Amino acid sequence: MANMSLSAQAIRRILVLGSAATMAVSFVGAANEVAEAAENKNAANKVERIEVTGSRIKQVDMETVSPVTVIDASAIKMSGEKTVADVLNNSAINSFGSWRGISGYGSGASSTSSVNLRGLGSSATLVLLDGRRMPGTSSSSGAVADTSQIPMAIVERIEILRDGASAVYGSDAVAGVINIITKKEFDGVELDYNMEMPQVEGGDAERLSIATGFNSERGNMTLTFEHYDSDAVFDRDVWKLDDPSYGAYSSFSSVPNGYYNTGKLDDKGKPIYAFYSNSAICEDTENVSDGTDGKNNGRCFYSYGAVTKLFGDQSRNSLLSNFSYQLSDNITFRGRASASLAETNTRYAATPVSTNYPVMGADNPLNPTGADMTLYLRSVQLGERDTLTETDSFDVMGGLVGFADIGNGLDWELNAQHSTSKTNSFNYNLVNDSIIQREIDSGNYDIFNTSGMSYDQWNQQMSKLYRAAAHTGVYQGKFDSTQIDGLVSTTLLENDVLTLAMVTGAEYEMIEFKQTSDPESAAGIISGGSGGDDVDATRDRTAGYVEFQMGLPADVELSAALRYERYDQEGSLTGANGAVVNSSTFDALVPKLGLSWRPVDNLLLRASYGDSFRAPNMGEMFSSQSLSFEKAVDNLWCNTPGNTDANYCNKNNQHKTWYGGNPNLEAEEGNSLTVGAVWNVTDDWNVELSYYTITYDNKIESVGVDDILREEIRNGGSPFVHRGSDGKIEFVEAGVRNIATVETSGFDFVTAYNLPTNVGDFNLKLEMSHVLDFKKQDNPESEMIDYAGLTDTPDWRGNLTASWKYDAFSAAWTTVYIGGQDAGYWRALEDDDSYIDYPSYFRHNLQVGYQHPWNGSVTVGINNLFDKEAPTFYNYADYRDANVGLYDVLGRTFYVRLNQKF
Q: What is the pLDDT of residue 4?
A: 36
pLDDT band at 413 (very low <50, low <70, confident <90, very high): very high
- Structural domain tally of the chain? 1
Query: Who contacts 808 (Cβ-Cβ below 8 Å, separation ≥6)?
Result: 850, 851, 852, 853
Q: How many helices (H) and strands (E) does the chain have?
A: 12, 44
Residues 110-124, mean pLDDT to the nearest whole number: 83
Phi, psi (rounded to 5 degrees) for 304: -75, -20
d(CA 517, CA 625): 11
Q: Going along 74-204, which residue ranges are E strands?
A: 125-129, 132-133, 155-161, 176-182, 188-198
What are the backbone dihedrals phi and psi of residue 425, each rounded to the nearest 5 degrees, phi first?
Answer: -125, 130
The residue segments making up the domain with residue 94 are 6-236+311-349+387-432+469-625+660-702+735-901
Chain centroid to Cα 177, Å, comes to: 14
When pLDDT is cut at 50, 70 and 90, the band that residue 59 belongs to is low
pLDDT for the residue numbered 63: 65
Does any domain span residue 362?
no
* CATH, residue 221: 2.40.170.20
More confident residue, 14 or 150: 150
The one-letter amino acid at 464: K
Q: What is the pLDDT of residue 245?
A: 83
pLDDT at 20 (0 to 100) = 28
Residues 391 and 344: beta-carbon distance below 8 Å: yes
Q: Does residue 598 sit within a domain?
A: yes
pLDDT of the residue at 26? 32
CA distance 99 to 516: 23
What are the backbone dihedrals phi and psi of residue 734, each rounded to the nearest 5 degrees, phi first? -125, 180
Any domain includes 249: no
Identify the bridge partners of residue 57 per DSSP, sorted by sequence position: 25
Does 741 fall in a domain? yes
The Cα angle at residue 122 between residues 121 and 124, in degrees rounded to 5: 70
| The predicted structure's pLDDT at residue 32 | 35
Phi, psi for residue 647 in degrees, rounded to 5: -70, -45
With contact defined as beta carbons under 8 Å apart, do 820 and 838 qualify?
yes
Q: Which tens digit of pLDDT belongs to each residue from 251-297?
A: 899 999 999 999 898 887 888 888 999 988 988 999 998 754 444 46
For 83-109, write each residue's pLDDT tens digit: 888 888 888 888 898 877 787 776 667
How far is it, in rounded angstroms, from Cα 824 to Cα 837? 8
At 27, the pLDDT band (50, 70, 90 cuts) reads very low
Amino acid at 190: E
Residue 743: Cβ-neighbour burial (10 angstroms; 0-12, 13-18, 19+): middle
How far, in Å, CA of 409 to CA of 218, rounded? 22
Task: Check pLDDT > 80 for residue 874.
Answer: yes
Cα gap 81→84, rounded to integer Å? 8
Judged by DSSP in three states, 870 sits in coil
Rounded to 10°, the helix 455-468/433-441 angle is 130
Q: Report helix, strand or coil for 56.
A: coil
pLDDT digits (tens, 9 = 90+) for 587-606: 999 999 999 999 999 999 99
Tell me the three-class secondary structure of 85-98, residue by residue: HHHHHCCCCCCCCC
Over range 208-235, report the average pLDDT.
Answer: 92
With pLDDT > 70 as the criterion, what percentage of the chain qualifies? 90
> What pLDDT band is residue 38 in, cutting at 50, 70 and 90?
very low
| DSSP assignment string, 271-315 | EEEEEE--HHHHHHSTTEES-TTS--TT--EEEGGGT-EEE-EEE
Q: What is the mean pLDDT of residues 495-507?
A: 93
pLDDT of residue 82: 78
Q: CA–CA separation, 429 vs 472, rounded Å?
A: 6
d(CA 277, CA 458): 14
Distance CA 138, CA 123 (A): 13
What are the CA-CA distances from residue 551 to residues 61, 548, 556, 558 (Å)?
A: 12, 10, 6, 7
Per the prediction, the chain carries an average pLDDT of 86
Q: Quick count: other Cβ atoms within 10 Å of Cβ 286? A: 10
Under DSSP, the state recorded for 524 is: T
Alpha helix (H) residue ranges in 692-776 = 705-715
Q: What confidence score (pLDDT) does residue 165 get? A: 76
pLDDT over 50 (residue 342): yes
- Tell me if 649 sits within 8 A of 572, measured CB to CB: no
Burial of 277 (0-12, 13-18, 19+ CB in 10 A): buried
What would the pLDDT profile of 516-575 be if each residue is shown by its tens digit?
889 888 888 999 886 667 889 999 999 999 999 999 999 999 999 999 999 999 988 654
CA dihedral (164, 166, 171, 173) in degrees, to 10, reads -30
Q: What is the pLDDT of residues 655-676, one digit of tens each?
A: 888 777 888 899 999 999 999 9
pLDDT at 244 over 70: yes
Q: Considering only CA atoms, which of 349, 340, 306, 521 is closest in space to residue 421?
A: 340
Beta strands in 632-735 (DSSP E): 654-659, 668-682, 685-702, 721-723, 729-733
The confidence score (pLDDT) of residue 779 equals 66
Q: What is the pLDDT at residue 626?
A: 73
Burial class (CB in 10 A: 0-12, 13-18, 19+), 319: middle
pLDDT of residue 164: 80
The Cα–Cα gap between 890 and 838 comes to 18
pLDDT in tens, 823-840: 998 888 878 888 999 999
- Give a yes or no: residue 765 inside a domain: yes
773 assigned to some structural domain? yes
φ, ψ dihedrals at 501, nearest 5°: -120, 155
- Residue 573 has a pLDDT of 67
Give the global pTM: 0.85
Nearest Cα neighbor of 318 from 434, 439, 228 is: 228
Asked whether residue 684 carries a pLDDT value surpassing 50, the answer given is yes
Cβ atoms of residues 570 and 538 within 8 Å? yes
pLDDT tens sequence across 602-627: 999 999 999 998 999 888 888 877 77
More confident residue, 464 or 154: 464
Highest averaged pLDDT of the listed ranges 60-69, 87-96, 171-180, 675-684: 675-684
Cα separations in angstroms, 757 against 5, 297, 480: 20, 72, 55
User: pLDDT by residue (tens digit) across 147-168?
Assistant: 877 778 778 889 988 888 778 8
- Over residues 353-376, the mean pLDDT reads 93
CA distance 545 to 566: 12
Amino acid at site 58? K
464/462 Cα distance (integer angstroms): 5
Q: Which of 894, 803, 808 is nearest to 850 (CA)?
A: 808
First to last CA, the chain: 32
β-bridge partners, 314: 230, 344
Q: Is residue 372 part of a domain?
A: no
Q: Can you tell me the distance from the alpha carbon of 355 to that of 657, in angstroms, rounded to the nearest whole number?
A: 10
Structure confidence by residue, pLDDT tens digits, 701-719: 877 788 788 888 888 888 8
Res. 53: pLDDT tops 80: no
Q: Is residue 482 part of a domain?
A: yes
